[in-house]
Every structure is written in C-alpha cells, then in structure tokens.
Amino acid sequence: MNLIQENVDITRFTTFGISVRARYFAEYKSERELVYISRQPEFLENPVLQIGGGSNLLFIHDFEGLVLHSAVKGITRYDKDADTAFVIAGAGENWADFVEWTISQGLAGLENLAGIPGEVGASPVQNVGAYGVEAGDVIHSVECFDLSTRKTCRFLAAECRFGYRDSFFKHEGRGRYIVLRVSFKLRPDGVPRSLEYGPLANLRESLGHHPTLRQVADEVLRVRNTKLPDPALIGSAGSFFKNPVVHNGKLEEIKALTGHELAGHPVGDHYTKLSAAWLIDHAGMKGAKCGGAKVYDKQPLVIVNDSNATAGDVATLATRVSDAVRRKFLIDLRPEVNYIDTHVQVTILGTGTSKGIPEIGCACRVCTSPFQKDKRTRCSAIVRTMGQTFLIDPSPDFREQMLSQDMHDIDAVLITHAHYDHVGGIDDLRPFCATADLPLYVNDEADKMLRKHYEYCFREHPYPGVPKFDMHVVGDSPFIVNGVKIVPIRVNHGPLPILGFRIGDFAYITDAKSVEPAELNKLEGVRTLVVNALRDRDHFSHFTLAEALEFIEEVNPQEAYLTHFNHEIGRHHELEARLPKNVHPAFDGMQLTV
C-alpha cells in the first residue's frame, strides 16, 4: 500500500488559486487507510494538516509536512418518524452537492446553506453558516478518527461545542480528530422554517406563498452570486473575516471615544454581533489593493485573488484592512480564514532577569549604557505558527512590550513558572479575555500559585472586567493547542520544576539550572534554541554563561540565543564578541524565523 506521495501540487484543493505544494500528500478512502498512514514516518516526523475543499485556507508558504485529504464518500438516509430523518454523509462529499441532494429528497434544514464551497467534513469543524442557519443547528453527531488512539469515535452535537464559526474541532480537537462522517438531523416534511434573516425575510411576501426548499435555495444562490465571486473564476476564500462579537460596554466606550454608534444583532444578554462588511466598507477599504490581492467591490468581507496574487499580498492586505477598522472603530477583526505556515515566527519581548536592565538606582556601565540593546525588560516571548499566536509568560513589563511591538492578538498563553518576573503582567491580559476565557497552559505548581496570588481571577462570581482564564494543567507529554503541537520540557530552576517549550524546530527555555537526560531527548533536532544565561558567576538556580554554552553544545542547534541576563553579563556588543559563531545574545524586540 503506497498512499503517500512526495512534493505534490495541492493548489487544486484550495479556492484562493495561489500556487502551493506539499512536501507529502495522502488521500484516504477509509479508516483502514488512515491507520496505515498514521504509522508511517512521513506522518510521525512531520507537521500534519487535514484539508477538505480548502475554502478557508491561506497557505503562506509551501507546506513542509504531510497534507491529508478525505475521499470518504457515501450518503445514507434513515427515516426515524414523520418528523425526523437522519442523513449520514462522508467527509469527502462536496458540500454544495450534498445540500442539493437533501433538497431533492425533500429534507428540510440545510437549504439556507446552499452554494457554500468546501466538503462535508469541514461543516462541523467550521460550523459553517449563512442566512440565519448554522451547520451545528442540524448536526446530530460527528464520527471521527482519533489520531492518538488510531480508533474511531463519535461526538454528539452537544459535545462539539458549536459556536459562531467555531467548534471543539478548532481548539482541543484540532490536530487530533479527523472527521470521517457527519450525521444530520433533518425534517422530511420539506417545509423551510428559517426565513427571518436578510433577503429571505421578504421571500414569502414576494412569492405570495410559503416558499419551497428549492425556492429558498435558489434565493440564497442568487444573493450569493451577486455578492460573492465564483472561486472557479476569481480566487477567494469566501468571507475572510468573522463578524466581531463585542461586549455592550465596549460599544458604549467606542461611542464615547469616537462618536460612532455601532448597530448589530444581540448575542445573549451582554454582547452584540457587528457586521464586519459594514465596518470594512465604512473604514474606506472596499476596493483596496495590495499587489494582486483586492477587497472585493461587491462584498468587502471578501479578499480576492484579483491578478496573480501571492499569499503575502493577501496577508498584507488583510492586515491593512484590520488596521483601518481598528483605527476608525476601535474594533479588532479576526480572520475566518486559517493561515497555514509551518514556519515559526518568534518575537523576543524581553531578555532581562527579575530586576531588568537598567536596575533601579544602579549607575554601572551597563545600566547607564546609551545603547538600546542594553535596555532589557523582563523575559517574555511571542511565538506565531500555523495562524496561531502564543505568548510565553506575561512578564511585569508585558503591557509596554506589547505596545512597543504593536501586537494585539493572543490565542493562548504558555507559562514557564509562576514567579512574579514571569507572570506579573497577568492582569494586563484583560483585552484578550473580552469575549472568551483565555487558555493558559501551566504545570501543577504554577496552577496552584496563580490561583492563590491572583485569586480574584478565579472566583465563581468575579468582579466585572477582570481577566478570566481557561486553565490547562500539563504534564510531561506533548499537548495540542488549536492544532499546534507543544512539547513541554521539564527543567529545574534550582529545586523548583518549571517548563520550557518546544514548538516545531524552536525551543524556549528560561530560568533553568539543570535538565534531566530524558527531557534533553525532547530537544533532538531543534534548529533554534533560546536559553537563559544569567551571568558569569555561579548562581544556585540559573545557568551561568559557561553552563548555558555547555547546554547548547549538548543540544547542538543550528542557532542559539541567550536570554535572562542581569547587568553583570556586560554590554550587548561585548557579550556578542565572546560567543561562538552560532550563539548570539538576544535583545528586546528581536525577531526570528525558524
């Protein structure tokens, strides 16, 4: 059985029309073939990405890993009674064709979702929606292949945690579960019921009678065709941005600061869903261009491949659109499109030890240095990969670090340990908890300390506005965060066990004094290592410069960067001159690509 191909053009599996290749590619028709693939070295030793029709993907570069595509087919109908019919569809079925099949069968429930590009397997992952209906409204269960256990499992709709363009499969389940089949609970009476949204609200009146399934689908297709480009003719990923959900208190703040009163649809008791298209249009970005990418004239929520666009053109234009909306309306737009990039982009936010450099009241030559690279805030870093943004440690200087780097998005926080110089900025995470609890990944010791020292964040009835967290206690085993594999590295900070982290071929370790051999094995093959080197003199809980260099020699990365300095280390350029060719002192604001 030879299912895995090498160096494959996968452009046909995307809708942007931007050329992209995968180092490895495999298409499977059954669970048996998935089991086989999951045991091959191409799977075990590389990043793995499951794709469907590619209607929500933007590949920033060629994919340096294994791309999987489902060819699991088949549609089966089971009538329970006069009110309910279950339909099970293979993940590899074309979504638009599947919706057409349900209409031909007289089954109501999916007609509002006609014409959406992609495949059935993506419907529970993305919780695709349109014109007042979401897939999660009619999904009964989802059959998956668990890549960890190599067994088939099933999730009922309630377990999928469907939200606005969201589900369990985009978070904890991402990278672990592959959708095989989806079971839908539909109505055999053939009567459409969701007719309150947008252009469907007047359909009954214009027809003079209650519309049929076919008439609803035709109206949806007509409206889609007037607003959205046909991917076969103009490359796009459909709606590029999510409609932002904003706390009503934030809307009052925006009105007070800008004079703009923003209207939308209520979501629950305290939130409002705004129109991203309206915000983009009124920020003056309709028709805006960057290289071959363009904000679509007919629907500003869409970015199109107007003329041989590159992924960089699209990503840059999306950033310009977001910046324009933020400047005018103080609203952050988040992409609905997934950025796919196996590269790891690192920004070193801070490189100083607990006192920082300059130390308060110190007049030494390092603390009084005029050079910017000798100004060191407390240790922290941002890591971006696969469209996700991870913060490692919210230091006491976190607020100023983020402002200086003009950063405004975090998907999850990785905590090395709970000493104040690494978590003192935890209260400044408030902006990232505005619409949902921010995930924090910690070891058991840090979990206990954070709950004790920041107990106001963990009360059953917290004070309004305090940061709220979704706590995840991790052990020694790798874990998945929104599809990204994180390998915890247990190191010893003197007597205290703390964590370092490996993400892809990048590893970040700070405050270490020793590392056990078993943990050292987790660093095999790391290309770029960041590690602490406090000073030349011995310290009971931190690597000295000599110890850090010895550790680097053991790990043997291509490049290494030193961090967590105090002022005894000397000036930046002097330290650089003392180091081996592939070892460098990190500095605040340094950016790396791995």
User: Which residues are known catalytic residues?
Assistant: 165, 239, 336
CA atoms in the 13 A half-sphere facing the CB of 362: 15
Locate tokens 């964590």: which residue?
A: 499
Task: Say which residues have a Cβ less than 8 Å from residue 268's Cβ, sequence separation at least 6.
Answer: none
* DSSP state string for 351-377: -B-TT-BSPTT--STTTT---GGG-BP
What amino acid is encoded at 544 in this protein? T
Query: Rounded to 5 degrees, what are φ and ψ at 292?
Result: -90, 5
Instruction: Describe the strand order of the beta sheet including 302-305 as a list of residue ranges.
Output: 235-239, 302-305, 293-295, 289-290
Query: Any idea of the CA torsion for 286, 292, 389, 275, to the nearest 10 degrees?
Result: 20
Which neighbouring-strand residues pair with 497? 492
Rounded distance, CA 176 to CA 196, Å? 37
4-9 and 21-28 as β-strands: parallel, antiparallel, unpaired? antiparallel
Rounded distance, CA 5 to CA 394, Å? 43
Q: For 510-571, where are the alpha helices, taking DSSP H only?
A: 517-520, 545-555
Comparing CA positions, the residue from 150, 99, 147 lying closest to residue 120 is: 99
SS (HEC) of 182-200: EEEEEECCCCCCCCCCHHH
What amino acid is encoded at 332 in this protein? D
Burial of residue 21 (CB within 10 Å: 0-12, 13-18, 19+) is middle
DSSP state of 234: S
345-350 and 591-593 as β-strands: parallel, antiparallel, unpaired? antiparallel
Which neighbouring-strand residues pair with 295? 303
Distances (CA, A) of 136 to 54, 184, 589: 20, 9, 42
Query: Any idea of the CA torsion for 206, 212, 214, 218, to the nearest 10 degrees?
Result: 20
> How many other CB atoms are there within 10 angstroms of residue 531's CB atom?
28
Rounded distance, CA 138 to CA 160, Å? 12
Q: Is 39 helix (H, G, I), strand (E, B) or coil?
A: coil
Q: What does the block give as tokens for 455? A: 């107990």
Rounded distance, CA 380 to CA 534, Å? 15
Rounded distance, CA 41 to CA 64, Å? 14
How far is the first Cα of the chain from the last one, in angstroms, to the nearest whole number? 34
User: What is the radius of gyration, based on Cα positions, of the chain?
Assistant: 26
CA atoms in the 13 A half-sphere facing the CB of 70: 29
Distances (CA, A) of 186 to 83, 120, 156, 182, 341: 8, 15, 15, 12, 38
Please give the angle made by the CA atoms of 441, 446 and 447, to the nearest 5 degrees. Answer: 70
